[in-house]
């Protein structure tokens, strides 16, 4: 279907904060004869602001779709998660045949929702499966074959698994590395110490708790080791909540840069904050990351920034192990303890050769950019 103006209509369906940013970057890369709209299945879809119209019902889950935490599905159900299903399926059923292309970015949730509502010939960009652990199950392959015409995977072995069953599946690089967000924010100008760390506490309900523990780990460092600290604040996260949880106060320092969110401090430690859209700026000015994020962790490792992550009793160990098979030594995993986080920080901050070694591992494990161009070419061909 084309609009009266002759422009092709595309709908991008994404189901998570990182997926929204990837979709938004893809939309920005489309030619002018494509009119794109976005349906963020979970959350406000802040990544699409000033990019394209948002359509469909808004849904909020306690987990925001994050299945790395044990019991997240149970909590979503207990807090009314089922009430979000009917509006989503009703919307998808209602818009059948209204778009020239429907592009699903994320995991199988969007594919299954499309299949259940009669959609066929979906364009699926799988940013969930890594290829380092579980491949597609028989049921997943069946659902993809019925609902999708083209699939872009993160790894060659994933694409090969689908191709064996007659699916047009491709791997052209890691689209996450094409879609690292940059904005107006001069992180390097804020550097005063030899090294810097970017904090990526995540974009979900546990963000404030994770941030406070990251700050507690930084507080264990002696003055001579303390790095400059940057914080990428995801859309929807309340900075005042972060400050309160970590016992920091907000300063009056604020520039005219549109991504600048000011500073938090306790008198010794200063945290330079920027919107998540400036994450690329902060990574470029940093040496390592403390990360509890999903997509952002992958992008940091692929950028050559070793990560330190803590795991606690609420994390789904199976998913965590699957991720670690991909990340290998590039991500250091520690207990959820300030002293353990601090010890890992001291080790990396004090060992330049080890940082370079882990950076090389991260780049090799995550893969090269290049998928975005291939995806856009396939969409508009």
Q: Are residues 66 and 103 in the same domain?
A: yes
Q: Are residues 29 and 166 in the same domain?
A: yes
**C-alpha angle 346/301/162, rounded to 5°?**
150
Q: Are residues 160 and 195 in the same domain?
A: no
What pLDDT score does 122 carry? 98
- For residue 2, tell me if it sits in a domain: no
- For residue 3, tell me if it sits in a domain: no
Residue 235 is part of which domain span?
A: 188-366
Q: Is the pLDDT of residue 79 over 50?
A: no
Q: Are residues 292 and 168 in the same domain?
A: no
b/e burial code for range 28-54 (CB count within 10 A of at least 16 → b): ebbeeebbbbbbbbbbebbbbeebbeb
Residue 133 near residue 318 (C-beta atoms within 8 A) = no
Q: Are residues 118 and 156 in the same domain?
A: yes
Q: Are residues 357 and 292 in the same domain?
A: yes
Q: Are residues 168 and 197 in the same domain?
A: no
- For residue 376, tell me if it sits in a domain: yes
Using alpha carbons, select from 330, 294, 85, 270 the residue that is nearest to residue 206.
Answer: 294
What pLDDT score does 67 carry? 45
Q: What is the mean pLDDT of the chain?
A: 91
- For residue 1, tell me if it sits in a domain: no
Q: Are residues 173 and 30 in the same domain?
A: yes
User: pLDDT digits over 270-296, tens only?
Assistant: 999 999 999 999 999 999 999 999 899
Number of structural domains in the chain? 2
Residue 96's CATH number: 3.40.50.2000
Q: Are residues 194 and 272 in the same domain?
A: yes
Q: Are residues 162 and 311 in the same domain?
A: no
User: pLDDT digits over 188-241, tens only?
Assistant: 999 999 999 999 998 766 899 999 999 999 999 999 999 999 999 988 899 999
Q: Is the pLDDT of residue 7 over 60?
A: yes
Its pTM stands at 0.86
Confidence at 317, pLDDT banded by 50, 70, 90: confident
Confidence at 308, pLDDT banded by 50, 70, 90: very high
- For residue 225, tell me if it sits in a domain: yes
Q: Are residues 152 and 277 in the same domain?
A: no
Beta bridge partners of 102: 11
pLDDT over 70 percentage in the chain: 91
Confidence at 72, pLDDT banded by 50, 70, 90: very low
- For residue 217, tell me if it sits in a domain: yes
Q: Are residues 13 and 118 in the same domain?
A: yes
What pLDDT score does 113 carry? 96
């Amino acid at each position: 279907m084309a609009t009266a103006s002759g422009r092709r209509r595309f709908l991008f369906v994404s189901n998570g904060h990182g997926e929204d940013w990837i979709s938004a970057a893809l939309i920005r890369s489309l030619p002018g004869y494509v009119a794109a709209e976005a349906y963020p299945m979970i959350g406000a879809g802040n990544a699409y602001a000033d990019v394209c119209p948002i359509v469909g019902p808004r849904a909020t889950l306690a987990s925001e779709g994050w299945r790395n935490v044990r019991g997240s599905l149970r909590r979503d159900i207990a807090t009314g998660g089922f009430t979000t299903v009917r509006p989503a399926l009703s919307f998808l059923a209602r818009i059948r045949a209204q778009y020239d292309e429907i592009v699903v970015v994320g995991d199988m949730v969007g594919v299954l929702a499309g299949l259940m509502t009669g959609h066929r010939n979906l364009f699926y960009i799988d940013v969930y499966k890594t290829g380092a652990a579980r491949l597609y199950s028989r049921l997943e392959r069946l659902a993809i074959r019925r609902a999708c015409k083209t699939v872009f995977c993160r790894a060659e072995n994933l694409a090969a698994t689908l191709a064996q069953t007659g699916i047009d599946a491709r791997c052209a690089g890691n689209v996450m590395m094409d879609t690292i967000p940059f904005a107006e924010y001069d992180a390097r100008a804020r550097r005063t110490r030899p090294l810097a760390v970017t904090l990526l506490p995540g974009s979900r309900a546990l963000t404030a708790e994770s941030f406070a523990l990251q700050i507690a780990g930084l507080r264990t460092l002696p003055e001579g080791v303390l790095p400059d600290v940057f914080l990428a604040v995801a859309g929807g996260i309340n900075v005042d909540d972060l400050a309160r949880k970590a016992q920091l106060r907000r300063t009056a320092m604020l520039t005219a840069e549109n991504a600048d969110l000011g500073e938090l401090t306790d008198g010794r430690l200063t945290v330079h904050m920027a919107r998540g859209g400036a994450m690329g700026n902060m990574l470029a000015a940093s040496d390592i990351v403390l990360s509890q994020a999903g997509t952002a962790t992958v992008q940091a490792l692929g950028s050559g920034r070793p990560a330190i992550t803590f795991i606690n009793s609420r994390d789904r160990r199976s998913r965590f192990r699957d991720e670690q098979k991909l990340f290998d030594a590039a991500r250091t995993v520690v207990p959820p303890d300030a002293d353990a986080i601090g010890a890992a920080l001291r080790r990396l901050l004090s060992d330049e050769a080890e940082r370079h070694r882990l950076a090389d591992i991260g780049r090799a494990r995550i893969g090269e950019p290049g998928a975005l161009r291939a995806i856009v070419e396939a969409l508009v061909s």
